């Protein structure tokens, strides 16, 4: 069992990169006994950046699944600017005296 936050983040990142399920790792943690929490602002900022990097990794790993589910849903995928890709583009025309 892991006892320190940096060790936990290392193990979590390793499991994700190797394609393993991190659920077992996370379910066996006694969060109240976890040590190694940041003691100053600099180490807290470093820990936050590390967690953001792992979140980004998770989002990247979920992207193919999300794309597959979106293609199976039958609804039109979104294109640029959040507008559905299959909608015709309407351009406003200004009329007036020049």
Separation between Cα atoms, residue 52 and residue 64, nearest integer Å: 20
Q: Are 24 and 38 in contact (CB under 8 A)?
A: no
Task: Give residue 28's pLDDT.
Answer: 86
Q: Are 84 and 76 in contact (CB under 8 A)?
A: yes
Q: Residue 21 — φ and ψ, nearest 5°?
A: -80, 120
Task: Please determine, for residue 93, whether its predicted confidence score (pLDDT) is greater than 90.
Answer: no
For 26-80, write each residue's pLDDT tens digit.
888 888 888 988 899 999 999 999 999 999 998 888 888 887 887 777 666 666 6
Q: Give the per-residue pLDDT at 13.
A: 93
Which tens digits make up the pLDDT trace of 81-91? 666 666 555 55
- Show me where the domains of the chain are located: 5-66
Residue 9 half-sphere exposure toward CB, CA atoms < 13 A? 17
């Amino acid at each position: 069992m892991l006892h320190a936050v940096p060790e936990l983040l290392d193990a979590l990142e390793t499991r994700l990169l190797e394609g393993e399920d991190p659920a077992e790792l996370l379910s066996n943690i006694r969060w109240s006994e976890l040590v190694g929490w940041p003691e100053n602002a600099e180490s807290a900022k470093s820990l936050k950046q590390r967690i953001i990097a792992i979140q980004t990794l998770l989002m990247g790993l979920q992207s193919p699944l999300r794309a597959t589910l979106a293609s199976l849903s039958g609804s039109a995928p979104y294109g640029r600017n959040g507008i559905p890709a299959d909608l015709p583009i309407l351009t406003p025309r200004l009329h007036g005296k020049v």
